[in-house]
Amino acid sequence: MKYSLYAAGMFSLISYIFYKSIIMFLVLLPFCFLYPKIKKKELITERKRRLLGEFKEAIMILSSLLNAGYSLENSVKESLVELRLLYEKDNLIIKEFEYICQLIYMNISVERAFDDLAYRSRCEDIRSFAKVLRIAKRSGGELESIIAHTVGVIGDKVRIKEEIITMTAAKRFEQRVMNIFPLLIVLYIDLSSPGFFNIMYTTIIGRVCMSFGLAVYLLAIYISKRLLNIEV
């Protein structure tokens, strides 16, 4: 609901700045209900990023316990103990490992438990780990070395993603500022010099120009987001 209200506020601002028309606001109003869907995708992406970062730490602990001689099942259980020391109780990875431990207590194999996590998280790196774990367990190979290698690969990949996010943090902040800056400039001129933009709101050519400006503005926001969305 709050995202719909936020979208309504932004549409009212856009309607005022680009059209000064209550009719245009009413036309745009139904699109407010589309914004929560867009925001939901962003929140899911952010949740996946957080989960993957925590998952990296979890499997590094798991790998070290395997190398120390623990069985796979006991390594998972001991990993949960270590994770509780690292993170707060309501962290995503703690909840997931608690659920995995519950599945193990129900005599469900570790590989099936990680397959379930991979399916629910829809995260490619977690899916890759679950696949490698399943194959290594079935083949009866050197589980410790295989898991250690996989953990190293996933860890490097996650580390690169985190570095990219850190390096682009300032640019993301600049993007958010620049998204609102053009609106503030037009709003300032309109309030400080009443009537300055009247021709843009009262003539057909003016409305076409403002519509074109709005299209360019929205396109610029879209492109800037795409440029900062770097996939690894």
Residues 172, 155 share a domain: no
Is the residue at 58 inside a domain? yes
Last-in-domain residue among 138, 161, 184: 161
The answer to whether 94 and 87 are in contact (CB under 8 A) is yes
Residue 40 lies in a domain: no
Looking up tokens 């979208």, which residue turns up?
7
Model-level pTM?
Answer: 0.78
Place of tokens 């549409």: 11
The span from the CA of 151 to the CA of 219, in Å, is 40
Token representation of residue 231: 């996939």
| Domain that residue 211 falls in | 168-232
Per the domain annotation, does 153 fall within a domain?
yes
Output the average pLDDT for the chain: 86
147 in a structural domain: yes
Query: What contacts 147, CB < 8 A, 6 or more positions away?
Result: 59, 62, 63, 66, 132, 133, 136
Same domain, yes or no: 58 and 142: yes
**Among 26-30, 124-128, 219-223, where is mean pLDDT lowest?**
26-30
Closest CA to 59 of 140, 117, 106: 117
Residues 26 and 55 occupy one common structural domain: no
Domain boundary among 100, 134, 161: 161
In terms of domains, do 144 and 56 share one?
Answer: yes
Question: At 71, which CATH number?
Answer: 1.20.81
If asked whether residues 125 and 179 sit together in one domain, one would say no
pLDDT at residue number 22: 85
Average pLDDT over residues 202-220: 89
Both 174 and 153 in one domain: the answer is: no
* pLDDT above 80 for 229: no
In this prediction, residues 24-45 reach a mean pLDDT of 83
Domains of the chain: total: 3
Between CA 95 and CA 101 the distance in angstroms is 10
Same domain as 51, residue 156 = yes
- Contact between 232 and 160 (Cβ < 8 Å): yes
Question: Does residue 115 register a pLDDT over 90?
Answer: yes
Statement: residue 100 has pLDDT above 90? yes
pLDDT in the model for residue 231: 66
Tell whether the model's pLDDT for residue 101 goes beyond 90.
yes
* 127 within domain boundaries: yes
